[in-house]
Structure 1
Amino acid sequence: MAHTDPQPFAHLSAPNAPLYRLVLCTFARAKERFIVHLRPEDVAAELRALTEKHDETDRRIALADGRFAHSDVQLAQAMEKLVEWGNLRADADTGRVTSVEDFHRKRFLFQLTPAGYAAEQAIAFYEEAIGRRGALQSVALGDIAEQLRSLAVLARAADPDPATTHLLLLTLAERFSSLADNAQAFMASLRRAIDFSDGDVAGFVAYKERLIDYINRFIADLANSGARIAALLTELEDLDHHRLLWLAARREAADAVPEGADEAAAYARAEEAAFDAWRNRWRGLKDWFVSHEARSPSQARLLRQAAVTAIKQLIDAVGLLNERRSGRSDRSADFRTLARWFAEAPDDAAAHRLWRVAFGLSPARHLTVAAETVAEWEREELAPATSWRDAPPIRISPQLRRTGSYERRGKPNGVRDRSAERRFLLEHAEREAVETAAARARLRTDGPSRLSELGMLDPRAFRLFLGLLGDALSARFPGETEVKVVTSDGSMEVRLSEVAGGGQVAIRTEDGVLTGPEHVIEITDLMVTS
């Protein structure tokens, strides 16, 4: 019944996955008790015992979700599927055969296959890592310091005992690995707790006091014990700690499986590999507690900094929760109030003053307009709506382009007087405003008028006319002969009506002639009060 291509994780996505998980957990627990084979009735008894361990409430929940709701037939089918997937191996059970009928009846002994046991270990490790909250282990710090003191005593001996040295190093590595893993898991769970602060407010506020006290105690223990551990590590290195590492490596290499014909060479390779592993663990331990000023701070110092930062974040989270509970206004309410103030401003000058006060804007003292740029602006006669990609470039200093600043390093230059530039820009803006007003007055009609009656248009009036005509034509739907539209700035209104049989019309300008079908147009300047 063994499967040639094991699929030990297939049961996780099967329809009856909870039952498969319980069966495999039963075999894994039996293996921990050094029981290799189980019969189907043994598995059923284990599952019944597991059911009896739950109280009535837990048992109802378990039965509702189908964890223990199964028959002997379902259990047998589940074990057969696990054999098919390669998690279990089935061997003929001939130990209780007393008759020919028993011999021909299908009886099997089941045991975990290597692939099935490896899959169970992987799943258990995954579930433990995902559900792990972690802890800051002050006790582990004391254990690490005690193991290092014992190693220092051995290092001073002329002939240290290999077994004692190996056991001390194994305990030291186990406690250090537990400390590092738990600290990492705790900081991750702490970040999740801070992120969850928007949930149960009352619970979080009550929890944070105990948590901050817990972190403070660990920070103090880490500062004290970390200094002792760093001193012990330095002392051991002065006492030639490599001698202790070689003793542990030789003891581990003695259990290595011989490879090849040259047993001495294989033993030497195993000893060298074990020594490299211990030397790497020692380096990790030293990097955790001893800072390298030229390279980087120790992991213990980084952990203390992360713990202090976590305390600050907890306090900030509590402060934010208190602000929300006290009903303080947020930024969106402030912006709504500011918008109401703008709407209530008596004139544009008051609105500009409010803008400067609210956003802290002031004239740009760094503005520099080169004479070449000004000359090109006047030559091109650019409209305010000209796109930056179509406008002539503003030439800047290569130093500004390279360093982002006109100034050289050293004493900063004095503030330049930009009054002439500002006066020029003001005059330029006033001149544009006058020309735009003239163009608007030129295009304004006293009522409906034909396009052919517009007469000669200067360049600025023609550009404004093209914009108005484009707004009207783009707003007209197919089949319509008349359209009314207001410009985007709300300053002008255009009515455009097609003239049936009006023929073509030519509008003459200084730049050329625009031809198109005849229309009746009415342009109203909404900024002019009657």
Structure 2
Amino acid sequence: MTSVDDPSAGPPAGDTDRADERYRPFAHLATEGRELYRQVMGVFVRAKQEFTVHLRPEDVHLGLPPEVRPSVEAVATALERLAKWGNLRPDPDTGRVTALEDFYRSRYIYQLTRAGEAAEEALAAYDAALGRRGELQAVALADIAVHLRALLALADRDEPDPAVTHLALLALVDRFSGLAENARAFMSSLQRTVDLHEAEVEVFLAYKQRLIDYLERFIEDLVTRGAEIAGLLEHLGASQDGRIGPLLRLAVEREAADAAPDRAGEALAARERRWTGRWDGLRAWFLSVPGRSSQAKLLRSAARQAIPQLLGVVQALNERRAGRSDRSADFRELARWFAEAPDDDSRHRLWRSAFGLYSARHLTIDQESLTEREVDPVPASASWCDAAGVRISPQLRRTGSYERRGRSRSVQDRGEAKSHLADLARKQAEQTAAVRARLATRGEVRLSELDELDREAFRLFLLLLGDALSAWRPGADSVAATTNDGTMEIRLTRLRGGGIAEIRTPDGVLWGPEHLVEIIDLANENDPVGAYRE
């Protein structure tokens, strides 16, 4: 603990005078004894929470932690400086005056100023933001869906209660704000976790499995709850022309009723913009529009990408534990060789063999000059004007580049390699066409009616199914999607009450709800015979 008994511990008066007066309550953070100032202000904050307004120096001294408690004089000096900076307000302490001479003694009681209280609130928010650990709140998704259903019920009423509507909107905004902020903080901390390379292996491996399970649960909840929330938002509509509009206006009017009479119109417009922005932000978080994906979709994608990244870190840690060679291990082994080399000549040879960083002379020197250097070596510290000259090619002096004469390389015949590549490309194209023809259906069929698929056909089917499910919109009964290369199209229709479909493959059985599916081979759609060739 730094003592503040020395009056010179505070900042120079000139520096304080030059500072902006609005920020003087933060001056105690950048001066000697800042720990004591922060603890003293903490005593006043706790006293205010207990509805205590004024404190004497003795009360502040007793409120400090015993292990770091300085003298009463040091506390009194700290109180005086905090009062000078505007954090505290001193008032004469006349409650303990018993004689005339007591009036001439400096006795004060202190209380927080408005500026000092605002500074402490700002510092508390700063500390809380730095110490926050983000989390993916699956429960918040369920709460948001509950609040949206409540708003949908209010929107169906002829005259919804303004107070109930306002409180429901406030609860929805509070829950959604917490979800968005915690998700952002969690993904940021997750990236820092993935980037850890010096973490303890056993600790990381134990944490990895829990984290992957956590991500998988949240992704599952985000898919199911996110679709439900998107459907509710579609029913409530946009802030301007949707069913939510009258409810937002009730909340705006209720908040604007407390505004001053001379600023009623301005307050009404400001609150209307704020509530409209909140609702539009909520819709943008869960609903995608052409050209812009929703934040929920981006969060789901980031969470999915984090899982293979974590597995990559685990693989790297396992390889490190198994003793596989990598660049760091190579450098450590090379350093060991340098340490074990018998003399400097051996170390120089090892250096040249490992890195090939020779002097610049080897670029132009010929064998005759090298022979002369072996007979009469020139130390590296010799000045260029004292050393013997080096014969160089006139071509280097004239053009700045040096080329040795020699036989030019013969042109290689690449015909055989090109034929091999063409044959390989033809076989791959035939295999892909056969797989497309195998998957193509004659109109709509049930998923369960698809015959057993081989590995290649099943892989292409999964890609088509993934494109269709990605394009599915909440509330829709059918969807159509096309592959990126434009060669195939899939049309998927929900079959209510159809049961469970099974698709058999050499590696197992895919289970899922029954749908009607139509797969079209667009590359052969003008050849109906080839399009459905088995």
Question: TM-score scaled by structure 2?
Answer: 0.58
1:98-109 → structure 2 map (5 Å cutoff): 98-109=98-109
Q: Report the alpha carbon displacement of residue 30 of structure 1 after superposing the two structures with TM.
A: 2.4
1:477 CA displacement: 3.7
Residue 46 (structure 2) aligns with: 29
Read off the aligned partner of 2:244 and give its amino acid letter. Answer: H
Question: Aligned letter for 2:305?
Answer: T
**Separation in 2 of the partners of 1:70 and 1:175?**
44
2:313 pairs with 1:317: yes
Tell me the amino acid that sits aligned with residue 213 of structure 1: D
Separation in structure 2 between the aligned mates of residue 295 and residue 179 of structure 1, nearest angstrom: 24
2:202 is the counterpart of 1:202: yes
The corresponding residue for 2:323 is 327
SS at match of 1:279: helix
Q: Report the equivalent of 2:483.
A: none
Q: For the structure 1 residues 332 and 172, does the alpha-carbon distance in structure 2 shift closer, same or farther, using more than 3 Å as the test?
A: closer
In structure 1, the residue matched to 2:161 is: 161
Shift of residue 216, structure 1, vs aligned partner: 1.2
1:177 CA displacement = 0.7
Deviations 1:468-527 (A, max 9, x none): xxxx9x9974784xx446679xxx9xxxxxxxxxxxxxxxx9xxxxxxxxxxxxxxxxxx
User: Judging changes above 3 Å, is the alpha-carbon distance between structure 1 residues 171 and 95 closer, same or farther for their aligned structure 2 residues?
Assistant: farther
Distance in 2 between the 1:269 and 1:121 partners? 28
Residue 18 (str. 1) matches residue 35 (str. 2): yes
* Cα displacement string for residues 444-466 of structure 1 (whole angstroms, at most 9, x for unaligned residues): 89x99xxxxxxxxxxxxxxxxxx
Structure 2 CA distance for aligned equivalents of residues 81 and 140 of structure 1: 46
Aligned to 1:237: 237
Q: Which amino acid aligns with 1:46?
A: G
1:116, 1:335 → 2: CA distance?
Answer: 56
Aligned to 2:190: 190
Q: Whole-Å Cα distance in 2 between the matches of residues 272 and 332 of structure 1?
A: 62
Aligned in 2, Cα 1:475/1:258: closer, same or farther, shift over 3 Å? Answer: same
Q: What is the number of residues matched between the two proteins?
A: 337
User: Max radius of gyration: which structure?
Assistant: 1
Q: Name the CA shift for 1:78/1:161 in 2 (closer, same or farther; >3 Å).
A: same
Please give the secondary structure, in 2, of the residue aligned with 1:109. Answer: strand
Report whether the alignment pairs 1:273 with 2:270.
Answer: yes
Q: Counterpart of 1:120?
A: 120
Q: Which amino acid aligns with 2:277?
A: N
Question: Structure 1 residues 475, 317: CA separation in 2 closer, same or farther (over 3 Å shift)?
Answer: closer
Residues 485 and 9 (structure 1 numbering): CA distance in 2 closer, same or farther, change over 3 Å?
A: same
Matches of 1:146 and 1:13, distance apart in 2: 48
Separation of aligned partners in 2, 1:12 and 1:234: 50
- Alignment check: 8 A CA contact 2:86 2:115 kept: yes
Cα distance in 1 between the residues matched to 2:328 and 2:87: 59
- AA aligned opposite 2:243: D
State how 1:359-370 maps to structure 2 within 5 Å.
Answer: none
How far did residue 131 of structure 1 move? Answer: 1.6
Contact 2:61 2:69 survives alignment (8 Å):
no
SS of 1:9's equivalent? helix
The answer as to whether partners of 2:135 and 2:185 remain within 8 angstroms in 1 is: yes
In the alignment, structure 2 segments of 5+ residues that lack a partner are 1-15, 334-362, 373-377, 395-534
Q: Which letter does structure 2 place at the counterpart of 1:270?
A: A
TM-score by length of structure 1 reads 0.58
The 2-side partners of 1:313 and 1:236 are apart by 38
- Structure-2 change in CA distance of 1:476 and 1:271 (3 Å): closer
Work out which of the residue numbers 52, 56, 59 in structure 2 matches 1:42: 59
The match for 2:285 is: 288
Cα distance 1:223–1:476, how it changes in 2: closer, same or farther (>3 A)? closer
Report if aligned partners of 1:92, 1:109 keep a CA contact under 8 Å in 2: yes
Alpha-carbon distance, 1:31 to partner: 2.5
- 1:165, CA displacement in angstroms? 0.8
Summarize deviations over 1:101-130 as a string: whole Å, max 9, x none. 443332222122222122112211111111
Change (3 A) 1:476 1:329: closer
Distance 2:108 2:332 in 1: 77
Q: Distance in 2 between matches of 1:163 and 1:278?
A: 16
Query: 1:226 aligns to what?
Result: 226
For residue 148 of structure 2, give the secondary structure of its aligned residue in structure 1. helix
Q: Write out aligned runs for 1:33-432 (5 A).
A: 33-47=50-64, 50-51=65-66, 63=67, 68-237=68-237, 240-259=243-262, 266-292=263-289, 294-330=290-326
Counterpart CA distance in 1 for 2:171 and 2:81 is 42
Coordinate RMSD, CA, aligned: 3.4
Task: Give percent identity, aligned residues only.
Answer: 51
Instruction: Encode CA deviations 1:237-273: one digit per residue, 9 max, x unaligned.
Output: 28621111111111111111233xxxxxx31221121
The 1:74–1:237 alpha-carbon spacing in structure 2 relative to 1, beyond 3 Å, is: same
For 2:38 and 2:125, how far apart are their aligned partners in 1? 14
